[in-house]
Amino acid sequence: MIWNKEAECMPFKEREKLQLERLQSIVKKVYDNVPYYRKRFDEIGVKPEDIKSLKDIAKLPFTTKTDLREGYPFGMFAVPLNEIVEIHTSSGTTGKPVVAGYTKKDIEVWSEVMARALTMVGATKDDIIQNGYGYGLFTGGIGVHYGAQKIGATVIPISAGNTKRQLEVMVDFGSTILTCTPSYALHLAEVAEEAGITKKDIKLKAGCFGAEVWTEKMRDAIESKFNLTALNIYGLTELIGPGVAQECPEKSGLHIFEDHFYPEIVSTDTLEPLPEGEKGELVLTSLTRDGMPMIRFRTRDITSLRREICKCGRTLIKMDRVTGRSDDMLKIRGVLIFPSQIERALLEIKGIEPHYQIIVTRPHHLDELEIQVEASKDIFSDEIKHIEAMKKKIESHIEKSIGLRVKVTLVEPKTLPRSEGKAKRVIDKREL
């Protein structure tokens, strides 16, 4: 099923024309209405009139997360605040969050792209969508909600967590579509198995999973345990939230809703645009966003683009599954953190040596963070209870700083890599 055939199956040439018109209009809009963009454009001497073809987008400056933070809270808005009808923030934990503002029209666009995404997964108005993404400032829950409402499906706004109730609702209400993070879907499947809930008790036919990097292996596991089709969704708060791209049942890439979000792939070294098919960093420009237009936002996600007519009939460009990031940022249980944040928190504790290593694992489908710290004289004691208390203190201090539960392990001095040169701080053992 295709929600919006005209837009999703539009011939390439026609769509390019539409994209150019929209690009020219949004570039003019940000130049006129957002002082940040005007300043950046003027600095490199580019004017809205310079955008004569889609390729000219490369003349425009990039926008980064740091730029957005500097504009905190409403500096990136292109309309007066009274036209903003909704606000969300990013899940990041470094300093101030990124604030996203939506006009009434933006919410309509969001509902539209989410309706396309959910339809691609198989949702119709007859479906019961169990929405296990978090509701609140996080865009996941509300985004799916808008799409489900637009389709006319029955949405269960159960939000994230409370596994027991999730399973009870899944069985009793007969949910047919599950939306949540893939790791949580696997967790649900395992708990269901333990509780003796069988495939016969569950009516799920499809799942729309995203907000974290996952693998084909995880897909296989979720599909076989729940007997459903598990599809990948992609999005980010800076652009709109979920609904930037969605995988179709062909499972050969995610269709980017490129009439609203214009994708480029740039080299992580030179930041020069790369030809189709090459792997690099995904850069996105919002073509229709009114409240907070985004010009060449560096997502830091590594992927590649392919243009082809998909067997599903859509002409929308496809992006590959995201395989990593161009910075050293880690995504742990859906939360983005930099190793440096952990370092900062660690060094705030007296007596800790600046040598540490972060080990990321996914033992039971949920990410776990272990931080190895060298047992300095100040931490060490002749009594176990003092050492344990010190470990607890470090753990709770880090948790308070980064918002994630961690496990601290003490190792012997001089066994961790030193900070001179490029020390390997993070060992990611997850199979991503």
DSSP class per residue in 262-284: EEEEE-TTT--B--TT--EEEEE
Nearest to another protein of 43, 383 (CB atom): 383
CA–CA dist 229, 222 (Å, integer): 9
CA–CA dist 153, 172 (Å, integer): 17
412 binding another protein? (CB under 8 A): yes
Number of residues that bind another protein (CB under 8 A): 18
φ and ψ at residue 134, rounded to 5 degrees: -65, 135
CB of 187 to another protein, least distance (A): 25
Distances (CA, A) of 15 to 90, 114, 237, 308, 412: 30, 20, 25, 14, 61
Q: Say which amino acid occupies 285.
A: T
413 binding another protein? (CB under 8 A): yes
387 binding another protein? (CB under 8 A): yes
Cross-strand partners of 110: none
- One residue of 9, 107, 360, 410 binding another protein per CB under 8 A: 410
Burial of residue 127 (CB within 10 Å: 0-12, 13-18, 19+) is buried
Nearest to another protein of 327, 370 (CB atom): 370
If phi over 0 gives left and psi between -120 and 50 gives alpha, with beta otherwise, what is residue 428? beta
415 binding another protein? (CB under 8 A): yes
Nearest to another protein of 20, 416 (CB atom): 416
Cross-strand partners of 258: none
CB of 351 to another protein, least distance (A): 11
66 binding another protein? (CB under 8 A): no
CB of 339 to another protein, least distance (A): 22
Residue among 110, 114, 88 at smallest CA distance from 99: 88
> What residues numbered 367-386 form the site for another protein, per CB under 8 A?
374-377, 380-384
349 binding another protein? (CB under 8 A): no
Nearest to another protein of 85, 389 (CB atom): 389
> What residues numbered 73-132 form the site for another protein, per CB under 8 A?
none
Instruction: Count Cβ neighbours within 10 Å for each residue of 144-165 and write b for 16 or more, e otherwise.
Output: bbbbbebbebbbbebbbeeeee
CA–CA dist 256, 261 (Å, integer): 7
Stretch that binds another protein, among 66-74, 239-247, 281-289, 410-418 (CB under 8 A): 410-418
CB of 384 to another protein, least distance (A): 5
427 binding another protein? (CB under 8 A): no
- One residue of 53, 340, 409, 419 binding another protein per CB under 8 A: 409
411 binding another protein? (CB under 8 A): yes
CB of 353 to another protein, least distance (A): 10
Residues lying near another protein in the complex (CB under 8 A): 374-377, 380-384, 387-388, 409-415
